[in-house]
Chain A
Amino acid sequence: MALLQISEPGQSPQPHQRKHAVGIDLGTTNSLVATVRSGMAEVLADEQGRDLLPSVVHYIKEGVSCVGHEAAEHNISDPLNTLASVKRLMGRGLADIKTFGSQLPYEFAADDGGMPKIKTVSGMVSPIQVSAEILRKLAGRAEIAFGGALDGAVITVPAYFDEAQRQATKDAATLAGIKVLRLLNEPTAAAIAYGLDEADQDAKDQERIIAIYDLGGGTFDISILRLSKGVFEVLATGGDSALGGDDFDHAIADWLRQQMGLGEDLNPIEQRILLETAKSAKEELTESEQVELEVLDWQGALTRDLMHSLIDGLIDKTLRACKKSLRDAGVDQSQINDVILVGGSTRTPRVGEKVAGLFGIEPLCSLDPDQVVAMGAALQAEVLIGNKSGDDMLLLDVIPLSLGIETMGGLIEKIIHRNTTIPVAKAQEFTTFKDGQTAMAIHILQGERELASDCRSLARFELRGIPPMVAGAAKIRVAYQVDADGLLSVSARELTSNVESRIEVKPSYGLGEDEITSMLQDSFSHARDDMQARALREQQVEADRMVEDLLAAIYKDGEALLDKEEQRCLQVAIQELRELRESTTEHRVLARQIESVAKASEEFAARRMDASIKTALAGQSLDEIEKG
């Protein structure tokens, strides 16, 4: 066959070469990275054997001084330059931050584009940059473990994260040079780690309702998911962003303080000693009934029952949030098939007891609750990168909030409704309001309320150059496309004149493409060659993928879908791309060639999709009969 001639030995990409993929749990307090080895998900530790990376970055005048454990040590001595809990700030506007940022000690200011930034000794820093530092550290951990470059990652986000927060997370990954395979909801990741998606295969027509109870150090989340025929759907989420296991420690420390006869105004050192004592007492009481305590010159004992009386009120608060989410989801306790415990604070046995009491079933807790989200993400990454065929597993997500457009009178017209399965594309036509109107402002919104001012503004852009017509004569088609990560791009086109304008929604709170590029350049400014090398490497990978995809496609469908001349042109284009990939050191030159091959093969790609959709269900009726 003719096409075999162009595959020279040694040059052919190896499709079955194992790729390096990880799952990353980018947490408020701690972050983790996991991968799959011999079929099992496992968390990658640092050189000291520590699994958790505190989500903390310390800045000095020259820039980032350290990330993780070392950074956390500066917490007390240099609080303004030690950035922690930035996940709370991701994708937020300055107004949001003013409402809840007061819990954080930092100074905030808007940059030229109105984006919120944190003032540090090294200058203004965006939450996205801080997250990128954490991601880069985790990626470094993985590259050491693999002894090679990282090919892709699945990064988890809370189920309630909106468009802007998801985009901010993805921007952070781009900034860290990580290829994102998918953003995955944290509760869905936990369900995957426990293999609930596979358990479903036995009972295909049944649906399962799963509750994920996630109690971290400083936050509590409850999510109710429905798993039905391979579709994971978030029914409701709730929780308390200011309640966590740290509050248990505070309650016990407070009891200690009273027992010791101390007043409320402790110095920071006393405070720290009491908290640490409380924390270790709490941990010991998971094993024993009573613990003997020696603090400063005080001696005493704490029993398990007494500890329960100190923390029960806090746990009850989480149970009330669970009940509320069950109501929102429209299900009652008895319909829950599985409860999963996530987060280090669920190690306190009392939490599991009370959760079991509420739902009437034993919660799943055989996996380490700190690791379960990262493990689920790693399992999904393994499938997406192509190391494991995932024929049995398909996660169809829905968008959590409706997407719409502002119309006359400050109202919102919903274009894509909440709970629509993604990816999805929808378009709607609008018209002009005034005679001779040549521009139209498009305001993209997210939310369920009727008034635009009550919804979240995602982006604004203008369609210009509409030919002057009488009011109502122009036809403007606004198209929304949401990808599998829940990220939106919008285009607007005037149909009579074909004037077009489009935007990737990474607006108000994300980073612009230019900003990312310039930040990338900044971060490599000490080593320009590094940046060049990296950019070249990225384009080479893309060129390889493209050659691999196209050769496979021609082999399979070339004879059927292309005429001789078309085949020849494509072969020439591929050959040129391969030669350039080997010879050039200029990433821009390679990028241009990739672009031109993409254009040359576009028609072929569309024909293939069309043809494969036609054959996808061929013989289907027979299968169905056989299955009965």
Chain B
Amino acid sequence: MKLSSDFFEIFAIPVAWQVDSNQLQRRYLKLQQEFHPDRYASHSDTEKRLAVQTASLINQAYDTLKSPLKRAQYLLELKQIDASQDSHVTSDGAFLMEQIELREALSEVRDSADPFAALDSLRAGVESSYTEQQNQFQAQYQSSDFDHAFNTVAKMQFSSKLLDEIEQLEAELEDL
């Protein structure tokens, strides 16, 4: 189904980088209260199918807006810029070098004396650069500097992926 509203309109908030996550969650639950397929369980098949599609869309909208990376990608998408591909890489050489070093550090965590402490310090570093990238994106987006914003999203992708891998490694270490 194609709705005429964009994700921000669905949540009745302005199209902007800044999002109040508590407000977003409250509105998300209110929307699901109204559109969840359970509300249509005794209706006709057409209405039920429509409810499944609408609730899916609300879930997708919520999932997109609450994640900084997905929200940034979506803001660019609304400007007809596709920043969602994995293949889209940054050309910032220094940044790439730094990424290689961070990955090496991650692969050495297992062998370190205190893997959990090593992991924590690695995470703190990545999180702070992720925050910095988000601030950069916000500034670039607000000044309509979409070329640089596009480049910043590529960097955010690296950070977000690295954070996922840190989490995964932590789970693996805990299972040992």
Q: What residues on A are CB-neighbors of B78 within 8 Å?
A: none
Q: Are B26 and A624 in contact (CB under 8 A)?
A: yes
From known contacts A545-B42, A546-B44, A610-B5, infer whether A484 and B37 are also in contact, taking CB-CB under 8 Å.
Answer: yes
The listed residue (B2, B25, B30, B56) touching A620 by CB distance below 8 A is B30
Within 8 Å of chain B (Cβ to Cβ): is A230? yes
How far in angstroms is the closest Cβ of chain A from B110?
Answer: 18
Q: Are B41 and A152 in contact (CB under 8 A)?
A: yes
Within 8 Å of chain B (Cβ to Cβ): is A287? no
Which of B3, B43, B47 has the most chain A CB atoms closer than 10 A to its own CB?
B47
Within 8 Å of chain B (Cβ to Cβ): is A481? yes
How far in angstroms is the closest Cβ of chain B from A63?
Answer: 32
Chain B, residues 1-43, CB within 8 Å of chain A (1/0): the string is 1111100011110000000000101110111111111100111
Chain A, residues 529-551, CB within 8 Å of chain B (1/0): the string is 00000000000001001101100
From known contacts A394-B36, A616-B34, infer whether A386 and B44 are also in contact, taking CB-CB under 8 Å.
Answer: no
Chain A, residues 290-332, CB within 8 Å of chain B (1/0): the string is 0000000000000000000000000000000000000100000
Q: Are B42 and A385 in contact (CB under 8 A)?
A: yes
How far in angstroms is the closest Cβ of chain B from A261?
Answer: 48
Q: What residues on A are CB-neighbors of B35 within 8 Å?
A: 609, 612-613, 616
From known contacts A152-B41, A614-B9, infer whether A549 and B29 are also in contact, taking CB-CB under 8 Å.
Answer: no
Q: Are A549 and B43 in contact (CB under 8 A)?
A: yes
Chain B, residues 78-107, CB within 8 Å of chain A (1/0): the string is 000000000000000000000000000000
Chain B, residues 107-151, CB within 8 Å of chain A (1/0): the string is 000000000000000000000000000000000000000000000
Q: Are B53 and A425 in contact (CB under 8 A)?
A: yes
Q: Which residue of B lies closest to A618 (CB)?
A: B12
Q: Are A484 and B55 in contact (CB under 8 A)?
A: yes
From known contacts A484-B37, A606-B50, A609-B50, infer whether A617 and B42 are also in contact, taking CB-CB under 8 Å.
Answer: no
Q: Which residue of B lies closest to A391 (CB)?
A: B33
The listed residue (A481, A545, A620) touching B52 by CB distance below 8 A is A481
Q: Are B52 and A617 in contact (CB under 8 A)?
A: no
Q: Which residue of A lies closest to B27 (CB)?
A: A617
Which bracket fits the contact residues of B?
Answer: 35 or more
The listed residue (A151, A181, A605, A617) touching B12 by CB distance below 8 A is A617
Q: What residues on B are CB-neighbors of A613 within 8 Å?
A: 3, 5, 10, 31, 35, 54, 58
From known contacts A484-B52, A620-B27, infer whether A396 and B45 are also in contact, taking CB-CB under 8 Å.
Answer: no
Complex: A396 Cα to B36 Cα, angstroms: 9
Q: Which residue of B lies closest to A602 (CB)?
A: B46
The listed residue (B10, B29, B41, B59) touching A230 by CB distance below 8 A is B29
Q: What residues on B are CB-neighbors of A390 within 8 Å?
A: 38
How far in angstroms is the closest Cβ of chain B from A34?
Answer: 18
Q: Are B25 and A229 in contact (CB under 8 A)?
A: yes
Q: Are B33 and A610 in contact (CB under 8 A)?
A: no
Complex: A394 Cα to B55 Cα, angstroms: 13
Within 8 Å of chain B (Cβ to Cβ): is A384? yes
Q: What residues on B are CB-neighbors of A384 within 8 Å?
A: 38, 41-42
The listed residue (B3, B36, B41) touching A610 by CB distance below 8 A is B3
Q: Are B33 and A394 in contact (CB under 8 A)?
A: yes
Complex: A601 Cα to B54 Cα, angstroms: 17
Which of B10, B56, B58 has the most chain A CB atoms closer than 10 A to its own CB?
B56
Q: Are B56 and A423 in contact (CB under 8 A)?
A: yes
Within 8 Å of chain B (Cβ to Cβ): is A483? yes
Q: What residues on A are CB-neighbors of B59 within 8 Å?
A: 420-424
Q: What residues on A are CB-neighbors of B43 within 8 Å?
A: 545, 549
Within 8 Å of chain B (Cβ to Cβ): is A182? yes
Within 8 Å of chain B (Cβ to Cβ): is A395? yes
From known contacts A181-B41, A423-B55, infer whether A617 and B11 are also in contact, taking CB-CB under 8 Å.
Answer: yes
Within 8 A of B (CB), among A139-182: 151-152, 181-182
From known contacts A181-B41, A229-B25, A483-B37, infer whether A609 and B3 are also in contact, taking CB-CB under 8 Å.
Answer: yes
The 29 listed contacts between A and B (C-beta, < 8 Å) are A19-B42, A152-B41, A230-B29, A327-B174, A384-B41, A391-B33, A394-B32, A423-B37, A423-B52, A423-B59, A424-B56, A425-B60, A483-B37, A484-B36, A484-B37, A542-B44, A545-B44, A546-B46, A549-B43, A549-B47, A598-B45, A602-B46, A605-B50, A612-B35, A613-B54, A614-B9, A617-B27, A620-B12, A624-B23
Q: A151-B42, A386-B42, A483-B52 are in contact. List 5 more A-B contacts (CB 8 A).
A: A394-B33, A598-B46, A609-B1, A616-B31, A617-B12
> Closest 3 interchain pairs by CB?
A384-B41, A617-B12, A425-B56
